[in-house]
Structure 1
Amino acid sequence: MKKIILSFALIAFLFSCKEETQQKVKEASKAVATDVKAGAKKVENKVVKVIDTAKVKKSVKKVVRYSAEKVEQGAKKIREKAEK
């Protein structure tokens, strides 16, 4: 009788440990998932900033090119007026 009771106690103990381990694994999985999501969000934000910076650089180049063309046109007009 003692052996049967001890066997049931041992089995119950093993099952309770198994449940605790599973709970710890679930908690660890959630923590890792949260960390991965946070890391992915940081990378996404950095990529967006780089892309925005690239767009701004393109826009600045267009503005500089346009301004240079206007300065050249103004210089031509001044040169023409000076020659007259």
Structure 2
Amino acid sequence: MKKVLLVLFAAGLLATSFTSCREKETVGDKIEDVADDVEDAID
């Protein structure tokens, strides 16, 4: 039982260490960025 828990813990630790921390941009974020750029170009 202890080995099973240790294997699951190790797998979870590896999965979190290899997961990217970079923030993913959504479509809404991209639209907002374009709107900001257009607003800056008009000014």
Q: Could you say which TM-score interval applies, normalised by the shorter chain?
A: 0.3 to 0.5
- Give the number of the structure whose alpha-carbon radius of gyration is greater: 1
Higher helix share: 1
| TM-score, reference length from structure 2 | 0.45
